[in-house]
Structure 1
Amino acid sequence: MTNRNWGIIVIGDEILSGRRQDRHLQKTIELLTPRHEGLQFAHYIGDDEAQIISTLKASMQEDAVVFSFGGIGGTPDDLTRQCAAIAAGMPLVRNSKAVELIEGRFGEDAYPMRIRMADLPEGCELIPNPYNQIPGFRIGQHHFLPGFPVMAHPMMEWILETHYPIETPADYVESAIYLHGTPESSIVETMEEMIARYQDIRFFSLPIHREGNGINLIEFGAKGKTSDVEMAMDDLKSKLAEMDVRWTEER
């Protein structure tokens, strides 16, 4: 398994105003989960040129695979293509392959407005769009997709399969136990100690409140290489026994 950093950027006033509900976050999580990968960040920004540029500049400095959704159309409020070019220090040029695709889709109706969607950062790679053939584009590990889920999500699947295939065999396991009647604050030091000792795996602590019966649980676990997780969980169980904390394998 390759531990990459992953992020999404969702662009559009319509998301921030609530006129449309974001569906990209959940879909990204859904696609990354079978790969034993998870998101490190998710940014939501409006149709503001300065904010888009600053967000993209910052994310381009990180070693992360990023999916950016929205703003690559041809209307005046679609700013992502221009902002991506500025953030990456590339000129915005008319991409001949994108022109071919857009003309093939719309014919003479591609002009004068739709053809603007072929103005892309120089040297970028195109991302195929099976829905209407209007491509997205890729700069390094940043992938720029339409805001419409029906277009963006198949494109994201193609990106993952083409550029980030699942590596097999994946020696990966996720293991958890359930702590009963223990406040989360009481295990903070234990968790910090485990994180410091086992730096190649990730720990998680999730409080669970069962309405109706008043039972509170903490799901406490680790994920990573099988042998490391097994060793860490054995160590954790021993520490909990010393603390007289009751735990079970099931809820």
Structure 2
Amino acid sequence: MASGPEAGEGDGRVTAAVLIIGDEILSGRTQDTNLRDIARYLGVLGIDLAEARTVPDVLEEIVAALNALRSRYDYVITTGGIGPTHDDITADAVAAAFGVELEEHPEILAMMERRWGGELNAARRRMARVPVGGDLVKNPVQGPPGFTIGNVFVLAGVPQIMRGMLEDVGPRLRGGRVTVSRTVRVEGSGEGQIAAPLEAVARAHPQMSLGSYPFFGPDGYGSNLVLRGRDPAEVEAVVGELTAALRQAGVENVREVEPAA
């Protein structure tokens, strides 16, 4: 369980969402790692990843999800669907969401001609399409770049390429205050025993996030209680408050661990 402030409450946070696009993710044929990498990257910048959605290669569903996310959060990062095949329709969906046309970007065409030479076939030219008014996102790994329009950044689905593109996205984002994270580890007690003191502390500090993450293994069971906030002094104080509340409730095997789990 977890508790904390909801996204979009006007509390000064900088927020982002990730839109993962592709039938291969939903079918289980491909395991997504991009969400984890984006979350970690944004966290260093003090940007809260507040929501993630996965949608199939269906134009209407991509458009609907994108419009919902870009209206709610400061930034949206999409991954997948910008390749050369018929089901790579992310560019089409982004253009439709913004109500603009697609155009073949001369810089991408020139880059592909240098790489492949000669006449570019229709499949390769699909990767040169960018919504009118969009800017390019550099691809330092291989292949054509991604693009950005409004508060949306469109990146490749291949993890290595996505991470390379992300390095060009970061400097364009407005960062926030970095979140401080601390972990209190409880061993030998279930969530039923720790729920009441954890809830009491969470209610007393609504601007912080407090989450319980159970673990089970050959060496025993328990929970990692993760506290997150932007004020280091408050986080430090709440660690002590939570530890005291747990012990008062009869939970004895309590200790802080690093790094946060």
Give the counterpart letter for 1:163 in structure 2: R
Closer/same/farther in 2, CA of residues 234 and 29 from structure 1, 3 Å limit? same
Aligned position for 2:172: 163
Distance across 1 between alignment mates of 2:178 and 2:234:
10
Residue in structure 1 matching 2:106, options 69, 91, 96 = 96
- Do the aligned partners of 1:95 and 1:122 also contact (CA within 8 Å) in 2? no
Distance across 1 between alignment mates of 2:15 and 2:175:
15
Deviation at 1:190, TM superposition (A): 3.0
When the two structures are aligned, how many residues end up with a matched partner? 245
- Do the aligned partners of 2:47 and 2:175 also contact (CA within 8 Å) in 1? no
Question: How is 1:175-214 mapped onto 2 (pairs within 5 angstroms)?
Answer: 175-211=182-218, 213=219
Deviation at 1:61, TM superposition (A): 1.4
Are residues 1:142 and 2:152 paired? Answer: yes
Deviation at 1:219, TM superposition (A): 1.4
Are residues 1:226 and 2:232 paired? Answer: yes
Provide TM-score, normalisation by structure 2.
0.81
**Equivalent residue of 2:212, what SS?**
strand
Relative contact order: is structure 1 or structure 2 higher (C-alpha 8 Å, sep ≥ 6)? 2
Are residues 1:83 and 2:93 paired? Answer: yes
Farther-moved stretch of structure 1 (185-194 vs 123-132) = 185-194
Are residues 1:240 and 2:240 paired? Answer: no
Residue in structure 2 matching 1:125, options 135, 151, 154 = 135
Deviation at 1:144, TM superposition (A): 0.8
**Equivalent residue of 1:93, what SS?**
strand
Deviation at 1:30, TM superposition (A): 4.2
Closer/same/farther in 2, CA of residues 35 and 242 from structure 1, 3 Å limit? same
Distance across 2 between alignment mates of 1:96 and 1:66:
25
Closer/same/farther in 2, CA of residues 204 and 37 from structure 1, 3 Å limit? farther
**Identical aligned residues as a percent:** 28
Distance across 1 between alignment mates of 2:145 and 2:158:
13
Give the counterpart letter for 1:194 in structure 2: V
Provide TM-score, normalisation by structure 1.
0.84
Give the counterpart letter for 2:61 in structure 1: Q
Distance across 1 between alignment mates of 2:196 and 2:145:
50
Distance across 2 between alignment mates of 1:115 and 1:153:
23
Extract unaligned runs of 5+ from structure 2.
1-11
- Do the aligned partners of 2:47 and 2:178 also contact (CA within 8 Å) in 1? no
Deviation at 1:3, TM superposition (A): 4.1
Give the counterpart letter for 1:190 in structure 2: P
